Amino acid sequence: MIKKYLFYLFRWQLSTPILAVVLWALRGYNDWIVTVIANLLGGLIFFWIDRIIFKVEYRNPLWEIKDNIVCVNCGKTCKGYRLVKTTNYDRLNDHSPEFRCEECSEEKMKQLNRRGVVL
């Protein structure tokens, strides 16, 4: 966390030249408007960098567990499991999530593992 924080502080300093250049280039104009323009320009650039800095890494797989589901594979009604997110697997915004019983879920994990999904 401290490494990310220090990197963020360094990144924050990168906005200084942008602010300085815009303030210099638009000197004579209203300070508030120039500052808004500089911050807008900085936001357009650093949104993408900040997005990378604050990207959440999933070290452990995220699962959703529900009672009384119908297993999408075998049709059994039971407690259901659904893998939602790993480092390289993302079903956070799945509009039709598929739940599986424990046995079918384990089989699905084997299939995903063979396809290279990191569990």
Residue 71 found at the interface with Zn ion (CB under 5 A):
yes
Could you report how far apart the first and last alpha carbons of the chain are, in Å? Answer: 23
In contact, 82 and 64? CB cutoff 8 Å:
yes
Q: Rank residues 71 and 83 by Cβ distance to Zn ion and give the closer one.
A: 71
User: Which one-letter DSSP state was computed for residue 101?
Assistant: -
Show the tokens assigned to 36: 């808004």
**Binding status of residue 104 toward Zn ion by CB under 5 A:** yes
Using rule CB under 5 A, residue 22 touches Zn ion: no
* Candidate list 73, 84, 89, 98; residue touching Zn ion; CB under 5 A: 73
Q: Does 83 bind Zn ion (CB under 5 A)?
A: no
Contact 99, 72 (CB under 8 A): yes
Interface residues toward Zn ion, by CB under 5 A: 71, 73-74, 101, 104
